[in-house]
Amino acid sequence: MSAFDLGADDPAAPPPPIRRIAVIGAGAWGTALACVAAHARRGVTLWSRREDHAAALRADGRNLKYLPDVPLPDSIRVTSDLAAALENADAVLLVVPSSAIRETARAMAEILPRTTPVILCAKGIEPGSGLLMSDVASEELKGNPMGALSGPNFAAEAALGHPTACTIASDDGVDKFEIAPERTVAARLAVAMGTESFRPYVSDDLPGVEVGGALKNVIAIACGIATGAGFGANTRAALITRGLDEMKRLAEPLGGRRETVTGLAGIGDLTLTCSSEKSRNMSFGLQLGAGIARDKVFDGKPVVVEGERNALSVTDLARKHDVHLPICEAVRGILHDGHDVSDAFAMLWGRPLEGEPRALVELELGHPAERRTAFHFKEMLS
């Protein structure tokens, strides 16, 4: 039996080991995960789309472009040859940007055995289709077991061995998680990736884990805009808490569970991303809130900000399911519809009053200061 063959379910049998991991994508997070897997004593191949970048990684012994302070373990093999990267892999971590998931998965489909698990480490919702990243990959790969790795993780800290936790979810199905959870893709990868400092948790809620990752970047932009505009901790705490509620609202119609969003892949990731300028999404919003023009953000450098793209795809998907996400809609309005920051915050704070939690108190009351909110925010932000 190969490492790819799960065989018949047998609760007494040990789970097939994952010894060789292909990390597809050599940005900051891909490089960090390659380091974590190497520290866990797995055979690791790190794939970069560009040969010049792969050559620089090999020559420098570190990723000077994305993760300059982290030396690469000598055991990591770096290549720009996709077939070579995937050869004999027991599992694949797909860590390219969300916009490149479909193209990369399509290329992998010609090479990768159908039994090899593919773990999505990019976060987002595909524009147009409204698909989560695992669904996008599934359409192209046609049969590979799917999973997702998510959580409150800054790449450099994870790679340097700071205590870090994450959630790994997989689509093995409720029966396998109930009968033999240790044989699931999520559990097998958790065992393979766990180190003295990197602690994975296991979940059977793949859509719930992915929804948390998709929305947190949009909420982080909102927190950044608020901070850049001069609002303080009260505002950020409100946005984080109500942003968590928006995650819960969208998770349910997509098959996820509300309680999953209260874990590492939801509130954990949300809190981290919304509270530090190390987050590109938070930093992006902060610069916009401070009045810096979009083309001047990050000193005009072409930095990928996943939440900017996701502000459209998340709200499009929510509208399709008749789910209202006020904070995500406000971010969409600022980024894509030309709304002023003051108007967006007036909309958020002037909406009808609601019960909390909504599951217990269903009501909507006219806001007593609705007409004055627009004047208040324009005055504060002028």
Instruction: Cite the beta strand spans of 204-254 per DSSP E.
Output: none
Q: In 3-state terms, what secondary structure has residue 360?
A: coil
Annotated binding site: 25-30, 49-50, 66, 123, 151, 155, 216, 269, 279-281, 304, 306
Contacts of 36 (CB under 8 A, 6+ apart): 158, 159, 193, 195, 198
Token pair 């971010």 in the structure block, residue: 331
Token pair 């915050």 in the structure block, residue: 345
C-alpha 131: how far from chain center: 14
User: Choosing from 216, 248, 278, 296, which is the catalytic residue?
Assistant: 216
β-pairing, 43-47 vs 91-94, is unpaired
Sign of CA dihedral 236, 335, 277, 100: positive
Query: What's the helix, strand, coil split of the chain in %, to 5?
Result: 50, 15, 35
Question: CA 207, CA 252: separation in Å to the nearest integer?
Answer: 9
Question: CA 382, CA 374: separation in Å to the nearest integer?
Answer: 12
Annotated binding site for substrate: 123, 280-281
Annotated binding site for NAD(+): 25-30, 155, 280
Sign of CA dihedral 352, 313, 282, 46: positive
Annotated binding site for NADPH: 29, 49-50, 66, 123, 155, 280, 304, 306
Annotated binding site for sn-glycerol 3-phosphate: 123, 151, 216, 269, 279-281
Partners of 119 in beta bridges: 93, 147
Q: Which DSSP symbol is given to 72?
A: P
Active site annotation includes 296:
no
* Residue 375 vs residues 154, 238, 326, 362, 382: alpha-carbon distances, Å: 39, 21, 20, 29, 10
DSSP string, 121-190: ----B-TTT--BHHHHHHHHHSS--EEEEESS--HHHHHTT--EEEEEEE-S-HHHHHH-GGGSHHHHHH
Which residue numbers are catalytic? Answer: 216
